[in-house]
Amino acid sequence: MPEVLVAGGWGLLAGSALVVGALAGYLARIPGVVVAGVMAFGSGVLLSAVSFELIAEAHERGGLLPTAGGAVAGAVVYTLANIALARRGARHRKRSGDQQPSESEQSGSGTAIALGALLDGVPESIVIGASLLGGGGVSVVTVAAVFVSNVPEGLSSASGMRNAGRSRRYVFTLWGGIAVASALAAMAGYGVLGGAPGEVLAAITALAGGAILAMVADTMIPEAFSDARLWTGLITVTGFLTAFWLSSLQA
């Protein structure tokens, strides 16, 4: 099977966790403290993956300057896009309570939330595809980290969408579409970046890492702290160490 299709398959697998989480969040009444705890765990997993699978790998490939430049660029691009979408109703797209506006409260918020979900998912999937470059296998730790973090993202966001009065069709079409977009982004990560110089690949990897770090800080940790509060730090460290353990096994 062509490697680009393999990349797409891994991206689809990781993105499918959003649908799994959305099913649980929309169809079941899960206590907020449970959602917050799972979100804190997912935050720790992503922080570990960014540290040991993305930034460290980028530094090894291209050195400090491309890595730092890429990470800052990723954080800036994500933050500016997030600010623009927040003004159009997507600020609380990962919140499970009553924070999300309905379409009647803010026209166009549904589209903004959809674009925000796409913004959150694309960098992770590009990294999954890029991890296949160089002839090695996919980074299982990266796929696992994205999958684990996607479950609470879909769960929390779909719960908030239900509370905002959004239909099942909207919710599951959105997350199904994001899962497909994750596959396409992983294919692009492999196909577009193949043959790129080490410094360029390092900068792109670090760019995705910076965007993911900004996303965790802006959208995931606030939701985790909203209900877990004093337990957030401990649960986040548990997620971090779990992903670090998986990374050490792969090494």
d(CA 133, CA 58): 13
d(CA 194, CA 83): 32
H helices, E strands: number in the chain: 10, 0
Give the pLDDT score at 67: 95
Give the pLDDT score at 135: 57
Give the pLDDT score at 1: 56
Domain ranges (residues) in the chain: 3-250
- Per-residue pLDDT in tens (0 to 9) along the chain, 251 residues: 578 888 899 999 999 998 998 898 888 888 888 888 888 998 999 999 899 888 998 999 889 999 999 999 999 999 999 899 888 887 777 777 677 777 777 877 777 877 887 888 888 888 888 777 765 567 777 888 888 888 888 888 888 888 888 888 988 998 899 999 999 999 988 887 777 788 888 898 899 899 999 989 988 888 888 877 788 999 999 999 998 988 887 66
d(CA 59, CA 46): 18
The token pair that represents 94 in the structure block: 């990962």
Give the pLDDT score at 133: 72
C-alpha triplet 80, 177, 194: angle, nearest 5°: 70
Give the pLDDT score at 52: 87
d(CA 98, CA 141): 34
Burial of 104 (0-12, 13-18, 19+ CB in 10 A): exposed
The token pair that represents 26 in the structure block: 């929309």
d(CA 179, CA 230): 33
CB proximity list for 201: less than 8 A, separation 6 or greater: 58, 61, 62, 130, 133, 193
d(CA 160, CA 97): 5
Give the pLDDT score at 136: 59
